[in-house]
Amino acid sequence: MAQALVIGGGPAGLMAAEELAGAGHRVLLAERMPSLGRKLLMAGKSGLNLTKAEPRAAFDAAYGEMPDGLRAAIEGFGPDEVQAWARGLGQEIFTGSTGRVFPTAMKASPLLRAWLARLSGAGVELRTRWRFAGWEGSTALFDAPEGRQEVEADVTVLAMGGASWARLGSDGAWAGLLAEQVAPFRPANMGFGVDWSDHMRPHLGAPVKPVALIAGARRVRGECVISARGLEGGGIYAVSADLRDGAPLAFDLLPDLDEEQVAARLARPRGKASLSNHLRKALGLDPVRLALLHEWARPLPKEPAALAARLKALPVPLGPPHPLDEAISTAGGLRFAALDENLMLRGRPGVFAAGEMLDWEAPTGGYLLTACLATGRHAGRAAAARLGAAR
Protein backbone atom coordinates (compact mmCIF):
# COMPACT_ATOMS: atom_id res chain seq x y z
CA MET A 1 0.00 0.00 0.00
CA ALA A 2 1.12 3.57 -0.64
CA GLN A 3 2.24 5.74 2.26
CA ALA A 4 0.10 8.76 3.15
CA LEU A 5 1.17 11.33 5.70
CA VAL A 6 -1.20 13.67 7.56
CA ILE A 7 0.33 16.48 9.62
CA GLY A 8 -2.02 17.82 12.28
CA GLY A 9 -4.40 16.04 14.62
CA GLY A 10 -7.35 18.43 14.69
CA PRO A 11 -10.71 17.88 12.93
CA ALA A 12 -9.33 18.55 9.42
CA GLY A 13 -6.37 16.23 9.85
CA LEU A 14 -8.44 13.45 11.41
CA MET A 15 -10.98 13.67 8.60
CA ALA A 16 -8.25 13.53 5.95
CA ALA A 17 -6.72 10.50 7.65
CA GLU A 18 -10.09 8.77 7.75
CA GLU A 19 -10.65 9.33 4.03
CA LEU A 20 -7.19 8.01 3.13
CA ALA A 21 -7.50 4.96 5.38
CA GLY A 22 -11.00 4.28 4.08
CA ALA A 23 -9.59 4.17 0.57
CA GLY A 24 -7.22 1.39 1.65
CA HIS A 25 -4.02 3.40 2.09
CA ARG A 26 -1.50 3.19 4.91
CA VAL A 27 -1.67 6.42 6.90
CA LEU A 28 0.69 8.01 9.41
CA LEU A 29 -0.74 10.99 11.32
CA ALA A 30 1.73 13.25 13.12
CA GLU A 31 0.66 15.79 15.77
CA ARG A 32 3.02 18.17 17.57
CA MET A 33 1.02 18.27 20.82
CA PRO A 34 0.91 15.44 23.42
CA SER A 35 -2.66 14.52 22.42
CA LEU A 36 -5.07 14.95 19.52
CA GLY A 37 -8.01 17.29 19.07
CA ARG A 38 -7.09 19.67 21.90
CA LYS A 39 -8.77 22.73 20.41
CA LEU A 40 -11.86 20.65 19.60
CA LEU A 41 -12.05 19.56 23.23
CA MET A 42 -11.70 23.13 24.46
CA ALA A 43 -14.41 24.34 22.05
CA GLY A 44 -16.69 21.59 23.34
CA LYS A 45 -16.43 22.65 26.97
CA SER A 46 -19.33 25.06 26.55
CA GLY A 47 -21.17 22.76 24.14
CA LEU A 48 -19.75 21.38 20.91
CA ASN A 49 -21.48 23.26 18.09
CA LEU A 50 -21.11 20.83 15.18
CA THR A 51 -22.88 22.76 12.44
CA LYS A 52 -25.89 24.97 11.68
CA ALA A 53 -29.19 23.62 10.36
CA GLU A 54 -30.53 26.37 8.09
CA PRO A 55 -31.32 26.92 4.38
CA ARG A 56 -28.23 26.16 2.34
CA ALA A 57 -28.02 29.62 0.78
CA ALA A 58 -27.90 31.20 4.26
CA PHE A 59 -25.31 28.69 5.41
CA ASP A 60 -23.03 29.34 2.43
CA ALA A 61 -23.40 33.10 2.83
CA ALA A 62 -21.65 32.92 6.20
CA TYR A 63 -18.36 32.28 4.39
CA GLY A 64 -18.57 35.34 2.17
CA GLU A 65 -17.02 34.98 -1.28
CA MET A 66 -15.80 31.41 -1.14
CA PRO A 67 -12.77 30.34 -3.20
CA ASP A 68 -13.46 27.39 -5.50
CA GLY A 69 -11.67 24.87 -3.29
CA LEU A 70 -13.62 25.85 -0.19
CA ARG A 71 -16.92 25.91 -2.06
CA ALA A 72 -16.33 22.45 -3.50
CA ALA A 73 -15.45 21.11 -0.06
CA ILE A 74 -18.58 22.49 1.62
CA GLU A 75 -20.83 21.45 -1.25
CA GLY A 76 -19.63 17.89 -0.68
CA PHE A 77 -19.86 17.96 3.10
CA GLY A 78 -22.34 20.46 4.49
CA PRO A 79 -24.65 20.56 7.52
CA ASP A 80 -26.63 17.44 6.63
CA GLU A 81 -23.47 15.41 6.05
CA VAL A 82 -21.91 16.60 9.31
CA GLN A 83 -24.97 15.44 11.21
CA ALA A 84 -24.92 12.04 9.50
CA TRP A 85 -21.20 11.71 10.24
CA ALA A 86 -21.72 12.43 13.95
CA ARG A 87 -24.53 9.88 14.12
CA GLY A 88 -22.21 7.40 12.43
CA LEU A 89 -19.86 7.81 15.39
CA GLY A 90 -22.68 6.85 17.72
CA GLN A 91 -23.44 10.40 18.82
CA GLU A 92 -27.04 11.46 19.28
CA ILE A 93 -27.55 15.07 18.22
CA PHE A 94 -30.15 17.79 18.58
CA THR A 95 -30.89 21.13 16.96
CA GLY A 96 -31.37 24.18 19.19
CA SER A 97 -33.87 26.97 18.68
CA THR A 98 -31.36 29.00 16.63
CA GLY A 99 -30.51 26.10 14.33
CA ARG A 100 -27.24 25.23 15.98
CA VAL A 101 -26.57 21.50 16.11
CA PHE A 102 -24.99 19.85 19.17
CA PRO A 103 -24.29 16.31 20.39
CA THR A 104 -26.80 15.37 23.06
CA ALA A 105 -23.83 14.83 25.37
CA MET A 106 -22.80 18.43 24.54
CA LYS A 107 -19.11 17.66 25.12
CA ALA A 108 -16.55 16.85 22.44
CA SER A 109 -14.82 14.08 24.34
CA PRO A 110 -17.26 11.20 23.57
CA LEU A 111 -17.21 12.03 19.86
CA LEU A 112 -13.41 12.34 19.79
CA ARG A 113 -12.94 9.03 21.61
CA ALA A 114 -15.22 7.24 19.17
CA TRP A 115 -13.47 8.87 16.21
CA LEU A 116 -9.96 7.96 17.37
CA ALA A 117 -11.07 4.39 18.03
CA ARG A 118 -12.44 4.17 14.49
CA LEU A 119 -9.20 5.55 13.05
CA SER A 120 -7.11 3.09 15.04
CA GLY A 121 -9.36 0.29 13.85
CA ALA A 122 -8.73 1.43 10.27
CA GLY A 123 -4.98 1.11 10.83
CA VAL A 124 -4.05 4.79 11.09
CA GLU A 125 -0.74 5.18 12.94
CA LEU A 126 -0.81 8.07 15.38
CA ARG A 127 2.34 9.90 16.49
CA THR A 128 2.24 12.72 19.04
CA ARG A 129 4.91 15.26 20.03
CA TRP A 130 6.13 15.26 16.43
CA ARG A 131 6.75 18.84 15.28
CA PHE A 132 6.96 19.35 11.52
CA ALA A 133 10.31 20.90 10.56
CA GLY A 134 9.91 21.15 6.79
CA TRP A 135 11.14 19.09 3.91
CA GLU A 136 14.50 17.88 2.70
CA GLY A 137 13.77 17.17 -0.93
CA SER A 138 10.65 15.00 -0.79
CA THR A 139 11.30 13.82 2.78
CA ALA A 140 9.21 15.31 5.59
CA LEU A 141 11.24 16.09 8.69
CA PHE A 142 10.00 16.06 12.29
CA ASP A 143 11.50 16.95 15.63
CA ALA A 144 10.32 14.35 18.12
CA PRO A 145 11.27 13.24 21.66
CA GLU A 146 13.15 10.32 20.13
CA GLY A 147 15.10 12.63 17.84
CA ARG A 148 14.84 13.72 14.21
CA GLN A 149 12.31 11.67 12.25
CA GLU A 150 12.16 11.38 8.45
CA VAL A 151 9.06 10.29 6.57
CA GLU A 152 8.84 9.50 2.86
CA ALA A 153 5.24 9.75 1.69
CA ASP A 154 3.58 9.54 -1.69
CA VAL A 155 0.97 12.10 -0.58
CA THR A 156 0.80 14.50 2.36
CA VAL A 157 -2.10 16.45 3.85
CA LEU A 158 -1.16 19.51 5.88
CA ALA A 159 -3.72 20.38 8.57
CA MET A 160 -1.69 22.38 11.09
CA GLY A 161 -4.27 24.96 12.14
CA GLY A 162 -4.23 28.73 12.20
CA ALA A 163 -2.45 31.03 14.64
CA SER A 164 -4.83 31.28 17.60
CA TRP A 165 -4.74 29.36 20.88
CA ALA A 166 -1.04 28.44 20.68
CA ARG A 167 -1.27 26.52 23.96
CA LEU A 168 -3.65 24.11 22.23
CA GLY A 169 -1.40 23.61 19.22
CA SER A 170 -2.36 26.33 16.72
CA ASP A 171 0.61 28.70 16.76
CA GLY A 172 1.01 29.34 13.01
CA ALA A 173 4.73 28.50 13.19
CA TRP A 174 4.39 26.47 10.00
CA ALA A 175 3.86 29.69 8.01
CA GLY A 176 7.60 30.27 7.86
CA LEU A 177 7.98 27.08 5.82
CA LEU A 178 5.57 28.35 3.14
CA ALA A 179 6.16 32.07 3.59
CA GLU A 180 5.58 33.31 0.03
CA GLN A 181 2.23 31.51 -0.14
CA VAL A 182 0.82 32.75 3.19
CA ALA A 183 -1.41 35.76 3.81
CA PRO A 184 -0.66 37.46 7.16
CA PHE A 185 -2.64 36.13 10.10
CA ARG A 186 -5.29 38.36 11.66
CA PRO A 187 -7.61 37.65 14.61
CA ALA A 188 -11.13 36.44 13.82
CA ASN A 189 -14.09 35.76 16.11
CA MET A 190 -12.53 37.84 18.86
CA GLY A 191 -13.56 40.37 21.45
CA PHE A 192 -12.77 44.08 21.43
CA GLY A 193 -11.51 46.41 24.09
CA VAL A 194 -13.73 49.05 25.70
CA ASP A 195 -12.54 51.62 28.23
CA TRP A 196 -15.38 51.32 30.75
CA SER A 197 -16.13 53.94 33.36
CA ASP A 198 -16.62 52.93 37.00
CA HIS A 199 -20.35 53.26 36.31
CA MET A 200 -20.20 49.90 34.46
CA ARG A 201 -18.44 47.85 37.15
CA PRO A 202 -21.67 46.34 38.56
CA HIS A 203 -22.47 44.97 35.10
CA LEU A 204 -19.20 43.18 34.31
CA GLY A 205 -19.96 39.64 33.18
CA ALA A 206 -23.56 40.50 32.26
CA PRO A 207 -25.05 39.65 28.86
CA VAL A 208 -26.43 42.37 26.62
CA LYS A 209 -29.77 41.15 25.22
CA PRO A 210 -31.91 41.60 23.29
CA VAL A 211 -29.72 43.66 21.01
CA ALA A 212 -28.85 44.01 17.36
CA LEU A 213 -25.29 44.91 16.38
CA ILE A 214 -24.79 47.29 13.47
CA ALA A 215 -21.31 47.15 11.93
CA GLY A 216 -21.28 49.52 8.98
CA ALA A 217 -23.81 48.11 6.51
CA ARG A 218 -24.11 44.80 8.38
CA ARG A 219 -26.77 44.15 11.02
CA VAL A 220 -26.81 41.04 13.23
CA ARG A 221 -29.19 40.05 16.01
CA GLY A 222 -27.25 38.38 18.80
CA GLU A 223 -26.19 38.86 22.39
CA CYS A 224 -22.76 39.81 23.69
CA VAL A 225 -21.13 39.97 27.12
CA ILE A 226 -19.66 42.89 29.04
CA SER A 227 -16.22 41.87 30.30
CA ALA A 228 -13.66 43.80 32.31
CA ARG A 229 -11.68 44.30 29.11
CA GLY A 230 -14.49 45.09 26.70
CA LEU A 231 -17.13 43.20 24.73
CA GLU A 232 -17.11 39.50 23.85
CA GLY A 233 -19.56 36.81 22.78
CA GLY A 234 -21.38 35.52 19.73
CA GLY A 235 -22.90 38.82 18.62
CA ILE A 236 -19.51 40.55 18.58
CA TYR A 237 -17.86 37.57 16.89
CA ALA A 238 -20.47 37.65 14.12
CA VAL A 239 -19.38 41.16 13.10
CA SER A 240 -15.75 40.97 14.23
CA ALA A 241 -14.37 40.82 10.69
CA ASP A 242 -16.21 44.04 9.78
CA LEU A 243 -15.04 45.75 12.96
CA ARG A 244 -11.46 44.57 12.53
CA ASP A 245 -11.48 46.03 9.03
CA GLY A 246 -12.63 49.45 10.22
CA ALA A 247 -16.44 49.43 10.34
CA PRO A 248 -17.98 51.45 13.20
CA LEU A 249 -20.21 49.64 15.70
CA ALA A 250 -23.61 50.70 17.01
CA PHE A 251 -26.14 48.89 19.20
CA ASP A 252 -29.85 48.77 18.52
CA LEU A 253 -30.99 48.39 22.12
CA LEU A 254 -34.61 47.76 21.10
CA PRO A 255 -34.46 45.44 18.07
CA ASP A 256 -38.10 44.39 18.38
CA LEU A 257 -39.43 47.95 17.93
CA ASP A 258 -38.97 50.39 15.08
CA GLU A 259 -37.88 53.97 15.70
CA GLU A 260 -41.40 55.41 15.43
CA GLN A 261 -42.73 52.94 17.97
CA VAL A 262 -39.92 53.81 20.38
CA ALA A 263 -40.56 57.54 19.98
CA ALA A 264 -44.30 57.07 20.53
CA ARG A 265 -43.73 55.20 23.78
CA LEU A 266 -41.23 57.80 24.97
CA ALA A 267 -43.80 60.54 24.30
CA ARG A 268 -46.23 59.08 26.82
CA PRO A 269 -46.66 61.18 29.97
CA ARG A 270 -44.26 60.07 32.69
CA GLY A 271 -45.53 62.18 35.55
CA LYS A 272 -43.03 62.32 38.40
CA ALA A 273 -41.08 59.27 37.21
CA SER A 274 -37.39 59.76 36.49
CA LEU A 275 -36.23 59.34 32.91
CA SER A 276 -34.56 56.05 33.80
CA ASN A 277 -37.79 54.70 35.28
CA HIS A 278 -39.70 55.96 32.25
CA LEU A 279 -37.29 54.12 29.94
CA ARG A 280 -37.64 50.98 32.02
CA LYS A 281 -41.45 51.05 32.15
CA ALA A 282 -42.23 52.36 28.67
CA LEU A 283 -39.63 50.35 26.77
CA GLY A 284 -38.74 47.43 29.04
CA LEU A 285 -35.09 48.43 29.19
CA ASP A 286 -33.25 46.23 31.68
CA PRO A 287 -30.46 47.62 33.91
CA VAL A 288 -27.67 46.48 31.55
CA ARG A 289 -28.98 48.20 28.42
CA LEU A 290 -29.95 51.23 30.48
CA ALA A 291 -26.40 51.40 31.85
CA LEU A 292 -24.98 51.25 28.32
CA LEU A 293 -27.24 54.09 27.25
CA HIS A 294 -25.99 56.25 30.12
CA GLU A 295 -22.39 55.17 29.43
CA TRP A 296 -22.37 56.29 25.81
CA ALA A 297 -25.23 58.76 25.30
CA ARG A 298 -25.02 61.25 28.16
CA PRO A 299 -26.46 63.79 28.32
CA LEU A 300 -29.53 61.95 27.09
CA PRO A 301 -31.57 63.79 24.44
CA LYS A 302 -34.78 65.23 25.84
CA GLU A 303 -36.87 65.03 22.69
CA PRO A 304 -38.54 61.60 22.23
CA ALA A 305 -37.57 61.39 18.55
CA ALA A 306 -33.90 62.18 19.26
CA LEU A 307 -33.74 59.74 22.17
CA ALA A 308 -35.43 57.05 20.06
CA ALA A 309 -32.80 57.53 17.35
CA ARG A 310 -30.06 57.12 19.95
CA LEU A 311 -31.63 53.97 21.38
CA LYS A 312 -31.92 52.46 17.90
CA ALA A 313 -28.33 53.27 16.91
CA LEU A 314 -26.17 53.80 19.99
CA PRO A 315 -22.55 54.39 18.92
CA VAL A 316 -20.12 52.00 20.63
CA PRO A 317 -16.60 53.39 21.12
CA LEU A 318 -14.50 50.28 20.59
CA GLY A 319 -10.82 49.91 21.31
CA PRO A 320 -8.52 47.44 19.51
CA PRO A 321 -9.37 43.78 18.95
CA HIS A 322 -8.15 41.28 21.50
CA PRO A 323 -4.77 39.72 20.63
CA LEU A 324 -4.32 37.05 17.98
CA ASP A 325 -3.64 34.28 20.49
CA GLU A 326 -6.93 35.04 22.28
CA ALA A 327 -9.02 34.86 19.12
CA ILE A 328 -11.23 31.83 18.53
CA SER A 329 -9.90 31.59 14.98
CA THR A 330 -7.79 33.52 12.50
CA ALA A 331 -8.05 35.02 9.06
CA GLY A 332 -5.07 34.72 6.77
CA GLY A 333 -3.03 31.60 6.16
CA LEU A 334 -2.23 29.57 3.07
CA ARG A 335 -3.59 31.44 0.06
CA PHE A 336 -6.08 29.62 -2.16
CA ALA A 337 -4.17 30.96 -5.17
CA ALA A 338 -1.37 28.60 -4.12
CA LEU A 339 -3.78 25.63 -4.31
CA ASP A 340 -5.69 23.91 -7.07
CA GLU A 341 -9.39 23.03 -6.82
CA ASN A 342 -8.45 19.83 -4.96
CA LEU A 343 -6.54 21.83 -2.31
CA MET A 344 -3.19 20.59 -3.61
CA LEU A 345 -0.23 22.97 -3.49
CA ARG A 346 0.57 24.02 -7.04
CA GLY A 347 4.26 24.23 -6.25
CA ARG A 348 4.47 20.88 -4.45
CA PRO A 349 2.51 18.12 -6.21
CA GLY A 350 1.16 15.48 -3.88
CA VAL A 351 0.92 17.88 -0.91
CA PHE A 352 -2.58 19.02 0.06
CA ALA A 353 -3.82 21.42 2.76
CA ALA A 354 -6.98 21.71 4.85
CA GLY A 355 -8.61 23.30 7.84
CA GLU A 356 -7.86 26.56 9.58
CA MET A 357 -4.42 26.87 8.00
CA LEU A 358 -6.20 27.93 4.80
CA ASP A 359 -7.01 31.60 4.19
CA TRP A 360 -10.72 31.71 5.01
CA GLU A 361 -12.82 32.80 7.96
CA ALA A 362 -16.36 32.33 9.14
CA PRO A 363 -18.37 33.22 12.24
CA THR A 364 -18.86 30.84 15.11
CA GLY A 365 -22.09 28.89 15.21
CA GLY A 366 -21.03 25.64 13.53
CA TYR A 367 -19.52 27.18 10.41
CA LEU A 368 -15.91 26.87 11.58
CA LEU A 369 -16.06 23.18 12.44
CA THR A 370 -18.08 22.29 9.35
CA ALA A 371 -15.49 23.89 7.05
CA CYS A 372 -12.60 22.19 8.87
CA LEU A 373 -14.27 18.80 8.47
CA ALA A 374 -15.25 19.54 4.87
CA THR A 375 -11.81 20.69 3.72
CA GLY A 376 -10.17 17.76 5.51
CA ARG A 377 -12.48 15.36 3.71
CA HIS A 378 -11.96 17.13 0.37
CA ALA A 379 -8.16 17.09 0.66
CA GLY A 380 -8.14 13.50 1.93
CA ARG A 381 -10.29 12.28 -0.94
CA ALA A 382 -8.18 14.12 -3.50
CA ALA A 383 -5.00 12.67 -1.99
CA ALA A 384 -6.52 9.18 -2.05
CA ALA A 385 -7.55 9.65 -5.67
CA ARG A 386 -3.99 10.69 -6.55
CA LEU A 387 -2.63 7.55 -4.94
CA GLY A 388 -5.17 5.44 -6.77
CA ALA A 389 -4.29 7.06 -10.08
CA ALA A 390 -0.59 6.47 -9.45
CA ARG A 391 -0.97 2.69 -9.09
- Please state, for a pLDDT cut of 70, what percent of the chain lies above it: 99
* Type of residue at 333: G
Are the C-beta atoms of residues 266 and 307 closer than 8 Å to each other?
Answer: yes
Amino acid letter at 343? L
Q: Can you tell me the distance from the alpha carbon of 27 to that of 325, in angstroms, rounded to the nearest whole number? A: 31
Q: Among residues of the chain, what percentage have pLDDT more than 90? A: 92
pLDDT tens for each residue of 66-105: 999 999 999 999 999 999 999 999 999 999 999 999 999 9
Helix locations, the chain, DSSP H = 11-22, 38-43, 56-61, 68-76, 79-88, 109-121, 234-238, 240-244, 259-266, 275-283, 287-297, 304-312, 367-390
Helix H or strand E segment including 251: strand 249-252
pLDDT confidence tier of residue 389, bands split at 50, 70 and 90: low
Q: What is the pLDDT of residue 44?
A: 81
pLDDT of residue 232: 96
- Residue 2, pLDDT > 90, answer no
pLDDT tier for residue 46 given thresholds of 50, 70 and 90: confident
**Displacement of CA 342 from its chain's centroid (Å):** 22
Look at strands 249-252 and 212-215 and give their pairing.
Answer: antiparallel
Residue 38 has pLDDT above 50, yes or no: yes
CB 102 within 8 A of CB 96: yes
Give the least confident one: 203-212, 270-279, 314-323, 336-345: 270-279
The band of 1, judged by pLDDT with boundaries at 50, 70 and 90, is very low
Domain ranges (residues) in the chain: 3-187+324-390, 192-316
Does the structure show a pLDDT above 60 at 65?
yes
Q: What is the average per-residue pLDDT within 275-300?
A: 95
Q: Give the closest residue to 16 by CA, choosing from 303, 344, 288.
A: 344
Among residues 222, 214, 216, 249, which one has the least CA distance to residue 320? 249
Indicate the pLDDT class of residue 165, thresholds 50, 70 and 90: confident
Query: What does the pLDDT look like over 234-252, one tens digit per residue?
Result: 999 999 999 999 999 999 9
Give the CB-side neighbour count of residue 30, counting CA atoms within 13 A: 23
- Can you give the pLDDT at residue 253? 98
* Collapsed DSSP state (helix, strand, coil) of residue 5: strand
More confident site: 155 or 272: 155
Residue 390 confidence (pLDDT): 52
Gap between the Cα atoms of 23 and 213, Å rounded: 46
The helix/strand/coil state of 352 is strand
Give the whole-angstrom CA distance, residue 47 versus residue 42: 9
Average pLDDT over residues 139-167: 95
Fold of 3-187+324-390: FAD/NAD(P)-binding domain (3.50.50)
